[in-house]
């Protein structure tokens, strides 16, 4: 079993703790394990939403066309990169 080294403390209403305890008992794990698993699962979901997405075929084709298109040079950006930095 891995050594736990990073504490996370929180306060919740007793009614919230009771619901968490009831769910943990159903899963046959203790409160800490239940909260850790639930938080980790949600964290993975949140991060996946930032990385993975699904498009209909037509929307994907439009997206892919834009990715493959020749980059456009924006005059304002070109001007910005040609300026001397204030600290130089």
**Number of residues that make up the chain:** 88
User: Given this model, what pLDDT does residue 54 score?
Assistant: 85
d(CA 58, CA 64): 10
Q: pLDDT tens across 40-86, in order?
A: 999 999 998 888 778 999 999 999 999 999 998 898 998 899 999 88
The Cα-based distances of 45 to 8, 11, 28, 36, 53 in angstroms read: 20, 24, 23, 14, 12
Between 88 and 10, residue with greater pLDDT: 10
Domain residue ranges in the chain? 14-70
Average pLDDT over residues 18-47: 96
pTM, rounded to two decimals: 0.55
Closest alpha carbon to 17 in 44, 35, 37? 35
User: Is pLDDT at 1 greater than 60 in this prediction?
Assistant: no
The label of the residue with tokens 């698993």 reads 37
């Amino acid at each position: 079993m891995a050594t736990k080294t990073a504490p996370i403390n929180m306060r919740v209403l007793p009614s919230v703790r009771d619901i968490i305890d009831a769910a943990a008992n159903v899963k046959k794990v203790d409160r800490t394990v239940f909260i850790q698993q639930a938080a980790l699962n949600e964290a993975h979901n949140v991060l996946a939403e930032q990385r993975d997405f699904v498009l209909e075929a037509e929307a994907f084709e439009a997206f892919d066309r834009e990715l493959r298109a020749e980059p456009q040079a924006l005059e304002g950006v070109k001007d910005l990169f040609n300026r001397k930095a204030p600290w130089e």
